[in-house]
Structure 1
Amino acid sequence: MTDDHEVAVVRWPDRSGALEEGPAALLAAYHLRTEAEKGEPVGDVDALPDRYRAEVSDPRTAFAGQTVLVARQGDTPVGCVVVTSPAGGQVEIKRLWTDPAVRGRGVASALLGAALAHAAEHGVHTVRLSVWAWRTGAISLYERFGFTVTPSWDARDRLVCMQRAV
């Protein structure tokens, strides 16, 4: 039996069906917070840009062919991360998010570790990601895991691109 505070990271959708809703609520919180931080707050998911709304409403389709990892406490999803399919020996980590109520308890580290292990299992040599410059806590986490800032592959202002070898 597991402790209610233990975090398990599972691939979604999982075979047990325990996380049927999966990352939808987590993705909604991620996108709503991100839009607010960019100075473009929206009232609800329906007001998000189309591509973000699609991720929330149908993550199975939006992330088809990619790997979605969900951290859970018991049957409750508390964090998620998306790992793109390998291409040219690399993957990209996207949408790393933890429920603010469980931050500081190792959830993001568990998700990031699982994403890196997944990349290694698939013969990837480089993992890259992008993060908004104001998310200094996330940047510190990535640096602790060996990511370094690299020239940007994305022209959006205040987006920091990072990578590390596997």
Structure 2
Amino acid sequence: MTDRREVAIVRRPGQAPSVRDGLAGLLAAYHLRTQAEKGEAVAGVDGLPDRYREEIADPQAVFVDAVVLLALSGDTAVGCLVVSAPVDGRCEIKRLWTDPAHRGRGIASSLVGAALVHAAESGVRGVRLSVWKWRTGAIALYEGLGFTVTESWDEREQLVCMERAV
């Protein structure tokens, strides 16, 4: 069993994420789970919408302007989070995912905390994110970290938009 102290959060500034660092597998799990939760389960990555398959196949190209944070247990990626490049004084958190076998150890909180540090270092005034309304655990995590629900900037139904100052 991996203990919380053995998990490190690494930021890859100037280093593009790659398939070999474990990010692709985490993104695949995230997108497959999300599709299933939306009632649109697919058998595998090939059944995902194009934009999600592109993230999995070539995260280096898709996240070229973003900062990718990985939670590592030894050499194994067990969590990820993407921080978009700043736009209008804000950046956005996307793709927060912790491998289910490693949940309950504070990895998601550590990833969000590292994202907030990165945002502060980038000089932005705020961080925003969107989360599906049925992900009540994630919403509670974000609220506990100071995020509040705000007016939606996304037209998809069942998304909760949240924001916090840095």
TM-score (norm 1): 0.93
Map 1:107-146 onto structure 2 (within 5 A).
Answer: 107-146=107-146
1:51 corresponds to:
51
Aligned residues of 1:13 and 1:22 also touching (Cα < 8 A): no
Equivalence for 1:27: 27
SS in 2 for 1:20: helix
Matched residue SS, 1:79: strand
Aligned counterpart, 1:70: 70
Inter-partner Cα distance in structure 2 for 1:155 and 1:120: 28
- Structure 1 stretches of 5 or more lacking a match? none
Match in the other structure for 1:92: 92
Report the RMSD for the aligned CA atoms in angstroms: 1.9
Aligned to 2:105: 105
Task: Please tell me whether the aligned partners of residues 12 and 22 of structure 1 are also in contact (alpha carbons under 8 angstroms).
Answer: no
Aligned-residue offset at 1:12: 3.5
One-letter code aligned to 1:150: T
Identical amino acids, percent of aligned pairs: 66
Unaligned runs of 5+ in 2: none
Structure 1 distance, partners of 2:140, 2:148, is 10
Q: 1:14 to 1:78 in 2, by over 3 A?
A: farther
Q: Please give the alpha-carbon distance, in whole angstroms, between the structure 1 residues aligned to 2:13 and 2:74.
A: 16
Amino acid paired to 1:66: A
Aligned AA (1:9): I
Map Cα deviations across residues 31-82 of structure 1 (whole Å, 9 max, x no partner). Answer: 0000000000000001100000000011001111110100011000000000
Quote the offset at 1:7 in angstroms: 1.1
| Greater helix fraction, Structure 1 or Structure 2 | 2
Measured in 2, the distance between the counterparts of 1:141 and 1:158 equals: 18
SS of the residue 1:129 aligns to? strand
Residue 150 of structure 2 corresponds to 150
- Alpha-carbon contact 2:132-2:159 (below 8 Å) kept: yes
> Could you tell me how far 1:90 is from its partner in structure 2?
0.4
Asked if the contact 1:35–1:41 (Cα under 8 Å) also holds between the matched residues in 2, the reply is: yes
Q: For residues 66 and 22 of structure 2, what CA distance do their matches in structure 1 show?
A: 14
Aligned length, in residue pairs? 162
Task: Assess if the C-alpha contact under 8 Å between 2:126 and 2:164 holds in 1.
Answer: yes
- Determine the C-alpha separation between the residues in 1 that align with 2:36 and 2:9: 28
